A and B are shown apart, each in its own frame.
Chain A
Amino acid sequence: MINDYLLSIILFAPFAGATVLFFISNTQKDVVRGIAAFFSGLSLLASLYLFYTFDVSQGGFQFISRTVWSQTLGISFYLGVDGIGTPMVLASALLMFCGVFVSWDIKDRLKEFYINLLVLGSATMGVYMSLDLFFLFFFYELSVIPMYLFLIMWGRHTKGYKDMKGHINLAGEEKRESVGFILNFNKNSKEYAAMKLTLYLSFGAVVALMGILLVYVKSGLNTFDLLEIGEKGNLSLGVKEIGFLLIFIGFAPIAAIFPFHSWSPVGYAAAPPAASMMHAGVLKKLGHFTIIRICFYLFPEATAEWMPLVAIICIFNIIYGGLVAFLQKDTKFVVGYSSVGHMGYIFLGMASLNTISLTGAVFFLFADAMAMGLLFALAGFIYYQAKTLDIPSLGGLVHKMPFVTACFVVGGAASFGLPGGMNFVGEIMVFMGAWEIYPIQTIIAALAVVITWAYYFRMTRTMFFGKLNPALPDVKDARSWYERLPLVLLVFFTLFFGIFPGKFISVIEKGVTPILARFDSTAGSAIAQQTKLSTHIGDESIK
């Protein structure tokens, strides 16, 4: 009984929370916080229940609920999760819940902040559970706008903004609104970051919408139902090619694929911590997810044809993202570019198109969500305390904030793939799967892990160890429960699933296998044999 409504509860609890918040006054801060925490907590509990009741033996799409929304247009509100959607719903709910506590101390327009956060969170989860292409796009587009509001209302100006010259023209008008300003890539005001992010993602979205409409019309079924189109829609090879290109080009920018990545570090650096967590943690993964959901599912032939190119592009992500991260001086920029680098590993796993690497890629999606959530939450906390994230001017923070330092070390270590963290499991699986198909790329990617080590070590050393910079304001550790709770939760999930990934992998594998089975009928593709994945991989990773 509850299973029929479970996804709706997860999806609509935050919306309900946002609606309730509308009617609360901003002066009652505790009530506002309580409501946000309650509704996001409800969503989190329900998604934990979802994760643990997902029937691994059965596989396929579960917890399906379907309501006809418009007969004329062939749209139904169709929810369901498979082994790929389930962990991502959990990650979204978790990061949204943590985001509520990370933003506990916001002074300006707290209510509006939480409304934004809840809408952002549920829109994200909506994409992960939509089986109707219209609603998939609906929620995707819905998730873009709150980020704009986050950035302009609660964001911070980043590097180069203060010494920005010439943003006042001769007539005394600010040029920040002009079109030229948008094309100016060095001046990072929050408005610039916001507009850049929104336009990048919206442009991607309309390209993807063209692809969706193409599929809708050419399938001739007058339905947006993904599964029905997949089963009955006789898409010709040409349609599949064009559809793949449109949807890949549309959704890959949000996954920060090179060269469409430049919005992401700028956006994350300018965003308030909760927004960075959500966006780097789960919204970015919408790109990979939708490509797997739509392209892999509907256009296996075209996917198999184009994936070798993706395997080359992703190396640029890994190397370029890593090297740029190494040169950054701002903590959030380092983390942001490292996130760009990590996206490359996921694309490599997707490009290999076999069970082990694709499972690894999806596992990596969740792992990276935890790591990015943790690191951005910490960066936000440090900024709140020290009023700066400039790495050289920080230093010796361990003397003042040991708890934060410990969490940062765990997050950083997890992020660069130290065994014990989740990322390691994902990375090793991606490499194992990719080795047979793209040996050269795998070698480069594996070597590039060193870059990740290098910048994380350097950043951690400079920020936390050595002598305390006397110029810093009086920084305090995370002491109160609401400051510690999100950190503890994220550290716990990173370590727990890093050490016991068995359940996780079996869930994901159930989602991955049927998708890869669609490639089997395709001749002449770069698909490897179905490597039967045994649970001992999980055990190996511990060693």
Chain B
Amino acid sequence: MTPEIMTLADLNLRLIAPELWMTLLSCVVLMMDVFCPKLSKPKLAYFSVSGMALITLQLIGYGIDGTGGTSFSGMFVLDPLAIFFKIFILLSTIVMILASIEAMEKIPYFRGEYYFLLLFSALGMMFMVSANDFLSLFITLEFSTFGFYILVAYLRDNLKSNEAAIKFFILGALSAALIAYGVSLVYGEVGTLLFEEIAANPPEYTIGLTIGLLFIFVGIGYKLGAVPFHVWVPDVYQGAPTTVTAYLSVVPKAATFGIFLRVVFGTFLELKADWQWMIVSIAVLSMTYGNITAIAQKNMKRLLAYSGIAHIGTVLIGMAAGTQMGVESILFYILTYLFANIGAFVVVIIFQNLTDKDDIDDFVGLNRRSPLMAFAMLVFLLSLAGVPPLAGFIGKVYVVVAAVHQGLIFIVAVALINMVISFYYYLIVVKKIYSVEPKEYTPIHISTPLKIAIYVSIAGVLLLGIWPDPFIQASVTASSVFADLIPK
């Protein structure tokens, strides 16, 4: 085999143009912050938002004209799945930056770096969903988490924030080590790192391969925060600035699912018997533990953290199904979760900007103080609980239908019973917001960017619930990349 010399033309830069623009954008934002100290920080935020909006448009264009292919010797892939996730990442980053502006103004220092770090993490995740071999999987996972370590510790004088960051960092490093070890074992067994080559020559079952797979799964389980790898989730969610928590609760998880799908379906589908039981057990544990523990929570962010753990479990059901429909349901579910969860956090952010409190009991009588916020919270929580006509209901039904088709009756029964358990704690919050009288009646003022974030989330939740077909079609298109590999 003669060594090939790679030229710039081989790289096919058009495929990574969005990432290049994103790199440029984040660097410009950082430089502007350094060299124009008089520039107001909200302007920086609006600049980042408009830049990302343009990149999103470019990606939508790619999606329409069907641009795709691999680059960097197959390490980087652009296909409908990657485009789906990249648009997802960019849109949620835009919403989160809008929601952060007011909260950032309250932080005494490093206001500008915040936007840079957010953009930088988004960039890492954009690379992550395009990763096409184990090496880039490892690098991009670490790349995206890197920004979050700093963001979690952003409240420098807050003890909880520091504690959260240390926990996050140590467990993140541990999971990185596990993934690296798992990858080395897999490489030792199959002799290649590229997903496509592994999928093309399905490896024989060996004990080393199973153990390697197990290590990778555990590492990814840490990133997802699935039980039993969840212990960092509540503390980090509570300690981190709420804007970061909101971002952390949705986007990295979605991106991790993007790469997880490739590992599971694009690479090791032949070993389904080996990984299915792992995923089923993680899913059952996550749903049950997350929901039951959420009942006892007194802090809003912790409640959402535990409910997030339960939702990860629900998404894993679609993965356990191991079919095309399962993948579609995962993509759709993540969309529904995005709007509902970010929306719920935006309400918490608004409340925290005003009062600096985030216990559930602080939210009592919210309806009397701000009907819009109360209604928004109602919609988001009910969507998370899975009540029609909201997005979460369709998402749950989709996932469950995909699993039932594969005869996974037990896990479906667990999922549905968990749905009722989750009703309980979501409705308790609804009760406090609507039924209990508040301690003070001062109306809450909502600034315009936050209002936009709320309206966008409500619209998303309602649209996905009432007219989901376009989004289902988008999920079908995105999951078509596995069409040759997995059963319908």
Contact = CB atoms under 8 A, between A and B. Distances in A.
Nearest to B428: A177
B387 A145 contact: yes
Interface string A496-539: 00000000000000000000000000000000000000000000
Given A142-B387, A145-B387, A216-B401, A202 B431 contact: no
Interface in B393-419: 393, 397-398, 400-401, 404-405, 412-413, 416-417, 419
B393 A179 contact: no
A213 interface: yes
B434 A152 contact: yes
A495 to B, nearest CB: 38
A182 B428 CA distance: 12
B389 interface: yes
A251 interface: no
A72 B435 CA distance: 41
Given A69-B469, A70-B469, A210-B416, A195 B427 contact: yes
Nearest to B476: A72
B328 interface: yes
Nearest to B296: A179
B94 to A, nearest CB: 26
A73 interface: yes
Interface string B31-66: 000000000000000000000000000000000000
Nearest to B424: A199
B55 to A, nearest CB: 29
Contact of B405 (A71, A149, A182, A217): A217
B171 interface: no
B interface, by DSSP: helix, strand, loop or mixed?
helix
- Give the contact-size bracket for chain A: 35 or more
Contacts of A138: 388-389, 393
Contacts of A214: 404
Contacts, number: 81
Contacts of B401: 73, 213, 216-217
From A182, A194, A206, residue with most partner B Cβ within 10 Å: A206
A141 interface: yes
A221 interface: no
A109 B367 CA distance: 10
A141 B472 contact: no
B420 interface: yes
A152 B397 CA distance: 28
Contacts of A82: none
Interface in A148-174: 148-149, 152-153
Nearest to A152: B435
B438 interface: no
A213 B412 contact: yes
Interface string A116-149: 0000000000000000001000110110110011
A153 B434 contact: yes
A254 to B, nearest CB: 14
Interface string A202-244: 1100110110011011000000000000000000000000000
B343 to A, nearest CB: 17
B420 A202 contact: yes
B472 A72 contact: yes
A72 B424 CA distance: 32
Contacts of A152: 430-431, 434-435
B423 A209 contact: no
Interface string A313-334: 0000000000000000000000
A213 B404 contact: yes
Given A198-B423, A202-B420, A216-B401, A142 B389 contact: yes
A210 B387 contact: no
A69 B471 CA distance: 12
Contacts of B420: 199, 202-203, 206
A98 B431 CA distance: 27
From B295, B405, B424, residue with most partner A Cβ within 10 Å: B424
Contacts of B203: none
Interface in B468-487: 468-469, 472-473, 476
B416 A149 contact: no
A191 interface: yes
A21 to B, nearest CB: 12
B104 to A, nearest CB: 32
A141 B388 contact: yes
15 contacts: A70-B469, A70-B472, A72-B328, A138-B393, A139-B388, A141-B388, A142-B388, A152-B434, A182-B424, A194-B427, A202-B419, A202-B420, A210-B413, A213-B401, A217-B401
Interface of B: 295, 325, 328, 367, 382, 387-389, 393, 397-398, 400-401, 404-405, 412-413, 416-417, 419-420, 423-424, 427-428, 430-431, 434-435, 468-469, 472-473, 476
Given A152-B430, A195-B427, A203-B420, 15 more contacts: A69-B469, A70-B472, A73-B398, A141-B388, A144-B387, A145-B387, A190-B435, A191-B431, A199-B420, A199-B424, A209-B400, A210-B412, A210-B416, A213-B401, A214-B404
When A and B form their complex, which 3 residue pairs have the shortest distance between CB atoms, in order from nearest? A152-B435, A206-B416, A138-B388
